[in-house]
Amino acid sequence: MNDALPIRFDPAGLAAVNAIIAVMMFGAALELRLDDFRRVAQRPAGLLAGFTAQALLTPAATCLLTIVLNVDPALALGMMLVAACPSGALSNVLTWRARGTVALSVALTTLSSLAATVLTPLNFALYAGLNPATRALLQTIGIPAGGILAQTALVLGVPVTLGMLLAARAPQLASRLQGPIRSLSAIALFAFVGGAFWENRGLFVSRFDDFFWLVVGQNAMALALGALVARLARLSEADRRAVTIEVGIHNSALGLVILVTFFPAAGSMMLITAFWGVWHLVSGLALSAWWGRRPAESSR
The CA distance from 275 to 282, in Å, is 11
**What letter does residue 249 receive in the DSSP assignment?**
-
pLDDT (tens digit per residue) in 267-286: 788 888 888 877 888 898 88
Is 50 exceeded by the pLDDT of residue 43? yes
pLDDT (tens digit per residue) in 66-113: 999 999 998 999 999 999 998 877 787 788 888 888 778 878 887 887
What average pLDDT does this structure show over 212-222? 94
Structure pTM?
A: 0.77
Cα distance between the two ends of the chain: 50
3 pLDDT band, cuts 50/70/90, is: low
The CA distance from 204 to 241, in Å, is 32
The CA distance from 222 to 54, in Å, is 8
pLDDT of residue 139: 65
Beta bridge partners of 266: 3
Is 50 exceeded by the pLDDT of residue 217? yes
Is 60 exceeded by the pLDDT of residue 2? no
Cβ–Cβ under 8 Å, residues 265 and 7: no
The CA distance from 97 to 189, in Å, is 18
Amino acid (1-letter code) at residue 41: A
The CA distance from 179 to 31, in Å, is 10
The CA distance from 219 to 91, in Å, is 14
Q: Is 36 exposed, middle or buried (0-12, 13-18, 19+ CB in 10 A)?
A: middle
Is 50 exceeded by the pLDDT of residue 288? yes
Q: What is the mean pLDDT of the chain?
A: 81
Is 80 exceeded by the pLDDT of residue 224? yes
The CA distance from 123 to 82, in Å, is 10
Separation in Å, CA 4 to CA 135, 184, 267: 19, 33, 5
Is 50 exceeded by the pLDDT of residue 299? no
In terms of Cα–Cα distance, which of 194, 255, 244, 197 is closest to 222? 244
pLDDT (tens digit per residue) in 138-169: 766 555 556 666 666 777 678 878 888 888 88
Is 60 exceeded by the pLDDT of residue 26? yes
The CA distance from 84 to 88, in Å, is 12
| Greatest mean pLDDT range, 189-193, 202-206, 287-291 | 287-291
Q: Helix, strand or coil for residue 3?
A: strand
DSSP string, 255-275: HHHHHHHH-TTBHHHHHHHHH
13 pLDDT band, cuts 50/70/90, is: low
pLDDT of residue 227: 96
pLDDT of residue 273: 87
Cβ–Cβ under 8 Å, residues 123 and 169: no
Report the 10 Å Cβ neighbour count for 24. 28
In the chain, count H helices and then E strands.
16, 0
The CA distance from 300 to 119, in Å, is 31
Amino acid (1-letter code) at residue 283: S
The phi, psi pair for 295, rounded to 5°, reads -60, 145
What average pLDDT does this structure show over 237-257? 89
Cβ–Cβ under 8 Å, residues 269 and 3: yes
CA 172 from centre of chain: 29
Q: Which fold has domain 44-145+190-291?
A: Na+/H+ antiporter like fold (1.20.1530)
